[in-house]
Amino acid sequence: MSHRSGQEDPERYLFVDRAVVYNPATQADWTAKKLVWVPSERHGFEAAGIREERGEEVLVELAENGKKVVINKDDIQKMNPPKFSKVEDMAELTCLNEASVLYNLKDRYYSGLIYTYSGLFCVVINPYKNLPIYSENIIEMYRGKKRHEMPPHIYAISESAYRCMLQDREDQSILCTGESGAGKTENTKKVIQYLAHVASSHKGRKDHNIPPDSPKAFKLQASGSPDACVISFAVCTDLHVLLFKSLAFP
């Protein structure tokens, strides 16, 4: 994607270069050290290599400082191979456990990747800053694309629901949940932005993914309070009206 000189490249906040992530040396190190996750008061979990197994206890060497500690075998969680680093959908993880999920989210977040799928869900971590991934150019990138064809994004979720509404003529719902300050309101705004853009530009646009008797008019309505937001996206056809609803709860 082209971008103006001096502006940040939005693709660095969306795409992961798998060739860079998967390093054969890292894979060899993971195999040789038998790396696992162990509990940590400071980090929640941290990487460690298994040195010796003693019945129900295991002697491990912490990767961060080389300190050796004895851990109960039940407290150890398996670590995924390096090729799963920054994976876009955590349902693909070979070892699906708390430590691996938290590490993947953290690893992606510190790389500027705030959206991550977990099966049908999309996990969003508030960056507390503006990212260049909400422009009309980005909307067009996601428009008409299936979810697995593009990196995780609120636009991909919106596009999926929008297409299902048009093609299946059924109501769709997106629920945004999280603690205060998690970004529910901002992501709800992005849903509205996406729907308003694709709906307003639908007229006169040739799209082979939309049935011939596709909707001829669009209605967008939003209402709510600080604790909840309801967005109704109505598509009017000659036969009936379909509603798109996005709900945000505290």
Which residues are known binding-site members for ATP? 178-185
Say if residues 70 and 81 touch (Cβ distance below 8 Å): no
Q: How far apart are CA 71 and CA 170, in angstroms?
A: 52
The annotated binding site is made up of 178-185
Cα–Cα distances in angstroms (integers) from residue 90 to residues 51, 117, 136, 156, in the given order: 29, 6, 28, 16
DSSP, collapsed to helix, strand or coil, labels residue 30 as helix
Phi-psi domain of 117 (left: phi exceeds 0; alpha: psi -120 through 50; beta: other) = beta
CA angle 39, 41, 47 (to 5 degrees): 40
CA distances from residue 48 to 19, 45, 52, 56, 154 in whole angstroms, order as listed: 25, 10, 12, 17, 35
Please state, in angstroms and rounded to a whole number, the distance separating the CA atoms of residues 202 and 234.
Answer: 14
